[in-house]
Amino acid sequence: MNAEICELTKNNIDSDAIKRAGEIIKNGGLVVFPTETVYGLGGDGLNPLSSKKIYAAKGRPSDNPLIVHISDIKDIDKIAVDIPKTFYVLAEEFWPGPLTMILKASDNVPRETTGGLDTVAVRFPSHPIAKAFIEAAGSYIAAPSANLSGRPSPTKSSHVIEDLSDRVDMILTCDDIEIGLESTIVDLTAEKPMILRPGFITKEMLEEVLGEVQVDPTLMDANCTARPKAPGMRYRHYAPKGDMILYKGSVQWVKEEIVKATNKAIGEGHKCGIMTAHEDYDYYRDNLPFDEEKLVIVDLGSISNMEAIASNVYKALRYFDTVKADIISSEYFDRHGLGEAVMNRLLKAAGHHIIEEVL
Ligand code: AMP
Ligand code: MG
């Protein structure tokens, strides 16, 4: 199968392409589409065969459930039951947008879509192409991120084409993807709302409207032996092909250690990568060889602009693969606010390999 690729922009949504995409979904096919978080790999969320196809296309374990995307909050009653008041409070505040809510699933939703669970993850994305596509499909779109399982989530059309062009029917492209990290997931089925995956909507933002919000303890502590409540958080994920190490400590110590380790690795013949905040970029440039064959340095953006850093993380991880970096050193960022989501992804990418300053 070779996917039809359609380039769209937010201001120029080709209605014929959207119509064709809708038809593909109605016929049980798969369409990749842009959202404000990352690209999604969509199928008909109410068709068990479509969900099976999604797992096969991604190489994803079938116990890792999909998120069901809607384009009108009124449709929630068709997907979920026993909906708590907190759902409506959060939907009013954050939808359409990068927030996924876990609710009790209605019988309409096949267990293939929910990975066998009796709960369902629901999101109403704000990207205009996603909205137009869901409407054209006349159903609800089950979609995980549009990457091969284990690879970093795609935030550029080139990422999707590389991973999936021979595994789906159509790819709708639009690289105007503002956030660049997957949605925040919050579970509303327990007594207290609980964050299962950190994202752009932070704990602080949720608490402002809900009061106390809990966090799945497995997110905070790599040594926690409990099972994460979002099955997807169990798997090694977001990983570049090279070995990644995070350096945590004072700014000066981190810079010096990364320079030392990188020089050593280059001397041993490795191709190195560095992920840095903008503020430290010049230090690495000035203290390491300027040779793209041996070293690439990615400036993620200013430390004072976590949104920029968040939106560049996956692009950077994929870039290291493109240039075949086999040792990647990254700075460790402050976990406050959106920093929590960034560090969650970086810790997974590094398999929790941290070198920490001893004080
Ligand atoms: P993705 O956005 O591709 O990473 O996939 C969706 C994420 O949502 C995965 O981490 C799933 O484990 C999680 N998820 C989907 N449905 C549920 C559910 N019913 N309960 C808990 N987590 C879920
Ligand atoms: Mg994913």
pLDDT classification of 239: cutoffs 50, 70, 90: confident
pLDDT band at 37 (very low <50, low <70, confident <90, very high): very high
Under 8 Å between Cβ of 121 and 137: no
| Domain assignment of residue 340, yes or no | yes
Tokens 């990615």, located at residue: 298
Ligand 2 centroid to Cα of residue 314, in Å, is 12
Residues 6+ apart with CB under 8 A from 180: 37, 38, 155, 310, 311, 312, 313, 314, 315
Pick the residue whose CA is nearest to atom 5 on ligand 1. 144
Centroid of ligand 1 to alpha carbon of 183 (angstroms): 10
Q: Which atom of ligand 1 is nearest to the CA of 66?
A: 15
pLDDT exceeds 70 at position 235? no
Q: Say if residue 135 is in the same domain as residue 247.
A: no
Instruction: State yes or no: pLDDT of 340 exceeds 70.
Output: yes
Could you tell me the CATH number of the domain that includes residue 320? 3.40.50.11030
Contact 246, 330 (CB under 8 A): yes
User: From the CB of 232, is ligand 1 less than 6 Å away?
Assistant: yes
For the chain, what is the domain count?
2
Ligand 1 atom showing the smallest separation from residue 120 Cα: 19
Name the H helices within 146-187. 157-164
Work out the pLDDT band at 265, boundaries 50, 70, 90: very high
pTM, entire model? 0.96
The answer to whether residue 341 is domain-embedded is yes
Going from the C-alpha of 33 to that of each of 142, 177, 249, 313, the distances in angstroms are 12, 11, 40, 20
Mean pLDDT of 71-84: 97
The ligand minimizing its distance to the Cα of 239 is: 2
> Distance between CA 75 and CA 98 in Å, rounded?
18
Q: Which residues pair with 327 in a beta bridge?
A: 243, 272
Share of the chain above pLDDT 90, in %: 89
Residue 297 sits in which domain range? 243-356
Q: Is there a domain that residue 220 lies in?
A: no
pLDDT digits (tens, 9 = 90+) for 171-210: 999 999 999 999 999 999 998 999 999 999 999 999 999 9
Cα-flanking dihedrals φ and ψ of residue 342, to 5°? -60, -45
Residue whose CA is at the smallest distance from ligand 1 atom 20: 230
- CATH of residue 103's domain is 3.90.870.10
**pLDDT (tens digit per residue) in 101-150:** 999 999 999 999 999 999 999 999 999 999 999 999 999 999 999 999 98
For the chain, the residue count is 359
Mutate to test the pocket of ligand 1, among 64, 160, 216, 236 (most ligand atoms within 8 A of CB): 64
Place 61 in a pLDDT band, splitting at 50, 70 and 90. Answer: confident
